[in-house]
Structure 1
Amino acid sequence: MDADLDDLARRTQREVSGPHEEELHRRLTAVADPDDLAAVLTETQRPLWAREIAAFRLGCAGDRRAFEPLVLLLNHRDPDRCVSASYALTRLGDPRTAQAAAALATNERRVAYALTPVRLLTALRAPESAPALITTLNRRLTPGDPHWRVALACVEGLGALADERARPVLRTALTHPRLSAAASAALSRLP
């Protein structure tokens, strides 16, 4: 986790303004007490980057107090925050993670931010994974849908999961130029 925390610290350092925030940033990346980190999640007036660091560190340490803040970050408009949250959620091991990722991946109002939840569902290989990817992919196969990257991630995920229930939607995906090669590869992995 040290390299990942270093990456997070470098990225969030760009958001720091002023000496008070510099000190907070140093403290959050160095503090070892989980209660100190958890306090940052509930204190008012903390910048988003501070909450992200605290949630990331707690999640990677397996502290379930990080679950809700990480789920919120998983669906953030900043892709780097989404990836950071996904990484920590995977290490957290909370049984609610797959259900939360499925809800985010299938939320049509937030489909522009569904890429990371889709990839997380694939990594989790949970019972909720294939049904959520099938639902999301079905919705992306309408003509003119602009979210082809989400569709491609669903196709690749369904191939990795090799779930027989995906066969019909993957066959439909064969007709879409941007998805055809991945759909063919995914179909070849099905039993």
Structure 2
Amino acid sequence: MEDEFHELTDRVRAELRSPQDLVAYERLLGLARKNTPAGREELARMLIAVERPLWAREIAAFILGCAGDKRAFETLVLLLNYREPVRCATAAHALGRLNDPRTARAAAALATNPLRTAYALHPVRLLVELRAPQSVPALIATLERLLTPHTPYWRVALACVEGLGALGDKRAVPALRAAAVHPRLAAAAAASLARLGVHEDPPAPAEDGAPAKGARGDGSGTGPAG
């Protein structure tokens, strides 16, 4: 986790606002370097202490999560669905190493929640990494919901398309065929279908992202992310 930890601590250092923040920050780094049971106990207490800044809980949860300490789970799931993508990415990295059976269920719930689609990119990518039983059904459901013209969440849909190809489950073929008529998804959908052993000429993409005539385009729209 060395590179990711350095990226996290460099980012957090820019968020410090007082000498007291710097002291707390250096204390966290010291606990990370020591990597002792007593240090992990102190980090775990930080997760539930009142009036701790978010950056302190983020560092503590990242350290514990990468160490496989399941006390970090709740904080990491909160950060996985946070409004700042950089925090989502940090949480996803730690959750991928936590080895907690609850992780896939939580990621699937976040990815498929239509009110949180704006923050679903990293839950989708985490589901691909985990290769859990929930991964393929959640990616299919999320992709099908986003197969509407002019969706602002096409990057989430693209992550689903690419992830379904990587997961190699043929249950994804109908959804990938439907995605192949969307201009921003067509190339990735064709590549994912090929990885699944499906080789065909996809329908010509319609203009402005609208489904071609006769193609599936029945995914429901998404509400505003809250």
What is the rounded CA distance, in whole Å, between the counterparts of 1:167 and 1:107 in structure 2? 22
What is the rounded CA distance, in whole Å, between the counterparts of 2:85 and 2:153 in structure 1? 15
What is the rounded CA distance, in whole Å, between the counterparts of 2:3 and 2:184 in structure 1? 34
Query: Unmatched 5+ residue regions in structure 2?
Result: 198-226
CA positional deviation for 1:4:
1.9
Indicate if the aligned counterparts of 1:104 and 1:117 stay in contact, CA closer than 8 A. Answer: yes
Structure 1 or 2, whichever has the larger Rg, is 2
Pairwise CA RMSD of aligned residues? 0.8
Matched to 2:176, the amino acid is: L
Corresponding residue for 1:107?
113
Count of aligned pairs:
191
Identity of aligned residues (%): 61
- Normalising by structure 2, what TM-score? 0.83
Matched to 1:112, the amino acid is: A
Matched to 2:68, the amino acid is: G
What is the rounded CA distance, in whole Å, between the counterparts of 2:89 and 2:161 in structure 1? 19
Structure 1 residues 90-101: aligned runs within 5 Å: 90-101=96-107
- Normalising by structure 1, what TM-score? 0.98
Q: 1:52 aligns with which of 58, 74, 90?
A: 58
Higher relative contact order (CA 8 A, sep 6+): 2
Matched to 1:44, the amino acid is: V
Query: Unmatched 5+ residue regions in structure 1?
Result: none
Corresponding residue for 1:165?
171
What is the rounded CA distance, in whole Å, between the counterparts of 1:174 and 1:3 in structure 2? 36
Corresponding residue for 2:17?
17
Deviating above 4 A after TM superposition, structure 1's stretches of 4 or more consecutive aligned residues are none
Asked if residue 128 in structure 1 is aligned to residue 130 in structure 2, the reply is: no
1:146-188 superposed Cα distances (whole Å, 9 cap, x missing partner): 1000000000000000111100010000100000000000001
What is the rounded CA distance, in whole Å, between the counterparts of 1:56 and 1:88 in structure 2? 6
Indicate if the aligned counterparts of 1:59 and 1:66 stay in contact, CA closer than 8 A. Answer: yes
Asked if residue 138 in structure 1 is aligned to residue 144 in structure 2, the reply is: yes
What is the rounded CA distance, in whole Å, between the counterparts of 1:30 and 1:57 in structure 2? 12
